[in-house]
Amino acid sequence: MSDHATACCECGASAPNVNTNYTLISQTGWRLSRAPNVGGTIVMEWRCPACWAKRKPGAPRTARSLRPTRY
Kindly report, residue by residue over 12-37, the tens digit of the pLDDT: 999 999 989 999 999 999 999 988 88
User: Measured in whole angstroms, how far is the alpha carbon of residue 46 from the centre of its chain?
Assistant: 3
How far is the C-alpha of 1 from the C-alpha of 18, rounded, in Å? 7
The count of domains in the chain is 1
Domain span including residue 42: 1-59
pLDDT class of 2 with cuts at 50, 70, 90:
very low
Q: How many Cβ atoms sit within 10 Å of the Cβ of residue 13? A: 16
Task: Confirm whether 69 is domain-assigned.
Answer: no
Higher pLDDT, 50 or 59: 50
Task: Confirm whether 52 is domain-assigned.
Answer: yes
Task: Confirm whether 65 is domain-assigned.
Answer: no
- Please report the pLDDT score of residue 67 as a whole number: 53
* Three-point CA angle 31, 56, 5, nearest 5°: 25
pLDDT class of 40 with cuts at 50, 70, 90:
confident
Closest CA to 56 of 40, 39, 71: 71
Task: Confirm whether 64 is domain-assigned.
Answer: no
